[in-house]
Structure 1
């Protein structure tokens, strides 16, 4: 075995590859390639998440933008246009209007306040949203020459002829010029009969649900137009009402407020804001302001609770991507798709090179080139003085650093965008 080894190491190519300089170069390259591999893998994973289709119109980005636009318009019709008079003055309380504006702000939807009320601003879609009540229609739109058409039907007819990839909601039906994806999505939402009646709706996953809305006698308004968690507005101050013992956001009503001297110190937390008095065998309930109450009930269980479904049949929503914006987004999406393909190529190339370098290092690192040693393949020594494990740890650290850097860089890019 020793003789064969000596003949083997006499080969010129083996002398070159087993030289100290080659080991150092291979190790440095392995670390660099490992970093490049990990960074390419992170970039590929991030770009691949939204690149299941070669067309922007079929991408998750466009689907998300459409769903958000649809919900924004439906909520605007139900929570805002429903309650404006012919002069665009809001007829409900300021709390409900503030919640609507907070909803727009929270989702970063752009709008401006004008003398004729709130005007939605959107650079990606042309839109029309209106609601017809008692024969009168209140609407908002950013489509040019909208006043040239007398009736809403004429407006929609003209829009459909001049816009592609549109979505239209009218008379509680959703229509589109899109071809159905064939994949059906379940959408569940609550109606006024909250506990006894949950509506189930089926629609193609590249379209939008009809949804619905309702309100109750405690001043809460719920909107379900695509978001699985109902959007809630309040016609009264949504903060906890200490006098009435109402917690509207959690749907609770407290009663029989207790004074400090009525509360025994010997109690323990049972569940959330619920406490149990072991001496008296009584449950206490504490609100967010430190007040203690003897009773706590769900609003839906109260005998006076009443909820009413809104009439959404008069809501009309139409929107379609602007031609110039769609062209720009298609170009941007194609570039992102090409970046994904390049990242995939780098992952493959770096992966193959890294695998070859690691195999080379493991073989050479385990070989002892000292002539007097017979057991040449049992020495775990690299560069003669530093154990192989140290270099493997350094490579692992380099890979970890590359992953962390790639993730942080992607987060930075998303935030700046």
Structure 2
């Protein structure tokens, strides 16, 4: 517990210290430089210097140049109004007195004056002995504004005396006198550029690119035009425009246009087109260069300014360094203790030494919510902190109080976070992490209640395609609504319409995202459904279930029911076939014993001397018993082949087996009166099968053709290769009308000529089909009129591929 509390307190102190460090670092950054690189070279100081120079230059040519002898402004009032607006807009500090506008600066000592040209001061002569030239010199008037002490300069001094006093009392100054910049600073040698426009004598504008040392200032300039615009360029990034006419007048509207649409005829004279020109390129445009000859601007840092900066910097740097040491130490201590607590939790979990507590009864969602609150609180603290950093007084007691409050809050949040991690490790080690969540249990109960409602049954029984179609339509509508409302929500007038647009846009976007997430889950369920169909096709088990809330739940259940029904039917069919096979096999086996006895007694009777009539009966009995013996043997063989037993697979040459079958049937062929046409295209055809079974198949096919073909007709036997199979085909013309189908003739105990009472048992072709399929081949019958065709197919063994496979293995 001690380590836990210490870690929380250390984390709070670390945050408190880091906030103070950031605040001090921001103050150091605001100073714009360091003692080593010089505050005068900092970007902040350079910006302040340019802003001060800009204010003074514009004030001189716009305000001081338009004053009469009594210091009263006689210029355009709208230009003066724009001047004050510009100062306010840029937050330049000034005060308006009876003597005019006086800028305020706590960084610079300044002096700005404007000497009215002699021609403007010319008045009626009162002294007949004074020449006109002497009168103009005597009547020259200079107006100035300064924040420098009257002990240095005052209105009793001449302009030149004031300039001499300024340059002798100040060292680090920059002064503009007319169109000349001077300074006691040594040029830095690094040149900077300033671009602006000036008016030519012909009334047109010319671009000027002025180069100057970056520790000096550019001259700049200004001009006015016949549209009533006054354009100033004194260090400012873009030209500053003041207007002689108010904006709500036609002249003011015209002056404030930067581009003008020009109506012109097309080259063919068939219509009118419009072109756009800058206002300065208009034919009637005329600019007049602004006078800066009488302008004097003096700017110098205030006495002790850099020394004060140095002292403040040292104090802040010491505060930053000491606070940083404490912050780093507490941060490291907090991390070490937190790692120690987590490691201890892991060790106790591995050892199974966790003790039960009240926290075990709390759902883990509370800890997740606590983490979210921690993240939210961190963001709020950061936002409020930076707001305080940029406030007016960062060193106020209120700021320190809030920093302490934030540190305490962060200590509590650290405690909650560490406890949640330790509790999570405990749950994982006890294998109770999953069961600690309340939301899945609650969702499960709600899902059960929902599945018991009529709404669920209605939606579940609805065709899946219909639901998917309407959801796609709604998703597309939400997307279009979001797209259409986006411009209004971003660029509206912050009225009720914009609020409604924002709400609609957000709601539509949320629904569109929701529908896309549902589409992802639907794709997953479709994959499951496809796998279930594949499993059903392959007759393999498939245990993955689709959620009852999915649109595909009903089709999945229906498919599962079909699969179960088919499986039960197939199993029942297999069971029935097996029982039939066992019955036939048992009956055949039971018939063998009495049939053997019957045949034995008939053999004894044949050896006994009987009269001719009795011997004839014995011959009939012998013939029928032998036929019955063959039927029983065929039935028994068929039963064993169908059940998959008594099949000895081996490699054999099908061509050689065919030739042997023909040789063995030679006597039957000669005695049948039929002509055989034999076509064998292969020399050898290795296959896998039971030699005795395949021999019986060939024998049955040949016997069937000899027995049931038309008297004197020809029988065609063909053996050829087709792809990867060896195909044996027997064709003959039936001696009787064919009134059966190909499937019927291969069934057991079915004969083509039902009128005949002698001959086969109706098992020949059935045995041929069963034996062929048991050996991995195929057997089929094709009928075309009275044409009877038996086709036997066996796969050929590819020895080259087998040898290559063995080599690779």
Match 1:413 to one of 367, 378, 392? 392
Residue-by-residue CA offset, 1:72-95 (whole Å, 9 max, x unaligned): 111111111222222223232211
Residue 234 of structure 1: how far off its partner (Å): 0.9
Tell me the equivalent position of 1:305: 285
- Structure number with greater Rg is 2
Cα distance in 1, alignment partners of residues 50 and 258 from structure 2: 28
Asked if 1:323 is matched to 2:303, the reply is yes
Question: Structure 1 CA distance, aligned partners of 2:323 and 2:210?
Answer: 40
Cα deviation, residue 96, structure 1:
0.9
The answer on 1:65 being equivalent to 2:48 is yes
Residue 244 of structure 2 is matched in structure 1 by: 235
Q: How far apart are the structure 1 equivalents of 2:146 and 2:59?
A: 12
Q: Give the alignment partner of residue 171 of structure 1, picking from 178, 185, 195.
A: 178
Aligned to 2:223: 214
Which structure 2 segments of 5+ residues have no match?
Answer: 119-139, 264-270, 397-809
Q: Distance in 2 between matches of 1:27 and 1:385?
A: 25
The CA distance in 2 between the partners of 1:308 and 1:232, in whole Å, is 14
Match of 1:86 in 2: 69
Any idea what the Cα deviations from partners look like across 1:202-254, whole Å, max 9, x if unmatched? 334443222221222111111111220222111111x143x458353442457
Tell me if the contact between 2:17 and 2:324 (Cα under 8 Å) persists in the aligned partners.
no
2:18 and 2:191 map into 1 onto residues whose CA distance is 37
The alpha carbon displacement at 1:129 in A equals: 1.1
Per-residue displacement from partner, 1:175-212 (whole Å, max 9, x unpaired)? Answer: 22334455543322233479974322333444322222
Alignment match, 1:17: none
For 2:715, the equivalent position in structure 1 comes to none
CA contact (8 A) 2:177 2:295 kept: yes
**Aligned to 1:214, what secondary structure does the other structure show?**
strand
1:164 shift after superposition: 2.9
DSSP 3-state at the match of 1:311 = coil
1:29 equivalent to 2:9? Answer yes
User: Could you tell me how far 1:304 is from its partner in structure 2?
Assistant: 0.8
User: Matches of 2:230 and 2:240 in 1, distance apart?
Assistant: 8
Aligned to 1:113: 97
Equivalent residues of 2:245, 2:252 under 8 A apart? no
Describe the SS at the equivalent of 1:404.
helix
Change (3 A) 1:41 1:316: same
CA RMSD, aligned part only? 4.0
Higher mean C-alpha displacement, 66-75 vs 346-355? 346-355
1:125 aligns with 2:130: no
> Take 1:42 and 1:49, find their aligned partners in 2: how far apart are those partners?
10
Q: Quick one: distance in 2 between partners of 1:361 and 1:178? A: 63
Q: Which residue of 1 aligns with 2:146?
A: 141
Superposed displacement of residue 322, structure 1 = 3.3
Cα deviations across residues 33-56 of structure 1 (Å, max 9, x unaligned)? 453355245324422423431255
- Residues 103 and 390 of structure 1: is their aligned pair in 2 closer, same or farther, counting only changes over 3 Å? closer
Match of 1:162 among 165, 169, 174: 169
Distance 1:394 1:31 in 2: 17
Gaps of 5+ in 1: 1-20, 257-280, 284-293, 377-382
Match of 2:593 in 1: none
Measure how far apart 1:396 and its partner are: 4.5
CA separation of 1:336/1:173 partners in 2, compared to 1, >3 Å: closer, same or farther? farther
Partner of 1:49: 29
CA distance in 2, matches of 1:223, 1:183: 26
* TM-score, L = length of structure 2: 0.38
Q: Structure 2 vs 1, CA of residues 384 and 360 (structure 1 numbering), >3 Å: closer, same or farther? A: farther
Check whether the contact 2:245–2:251 (CA below 8 A) recurs between aligned residues.
Answer: no
The partner residue of 1:404 within 383, 392, 399 is: 383
* Contact in 2 for aligned 1:30/1:354 (Cα 8 Å): yes
SS of 1:139's equivalent in the other structure is: strand
What is the CA deviation profile of residues 7-30 of structure 1, one whole-angstrom value per residue up to 9, with x for unaligned ones?
A: xxxxxxxxxxxxxx1463255236
1:97 aligns to what? 80
Q: Distance in 2 between matches of 1:416 and 1:282?
A: 68
In the alignment, the residues of structure 2 paired with residue 197 and residue 40 of structure 1 have an alpha-carbon distance, to the nearest angstrom, of 53
**Residues 411 and 368 of structure 1: is their aligned pair in 2 closer, same or farther, counting only changes over 3 Å?**
same
User: What SS class does the counterpart of residue 237 from structure 2 fall into?
Assistant: coil
Cα distance in 2 between the residues matched to 1:330 and 1:306: 52
**Further displaced range: 202-211 or 177-186:** 177-186
Q: Partners of 1:152 and 1:245 in 2: how far apart?
A: 38
**Counterparts of 2:88 and 2:96 in 1: how far apart (Å)?**
11
Q: Tell me how far apart the structure 2 counterparts of residues 361 and 307 of structure 1 sit (CA, whole Å).
A: 79
Deviation, 1:171, is 3.4
> Which structure: greater helix fraction?
2
Distance 1:401 1:93, change over 3 A: closer
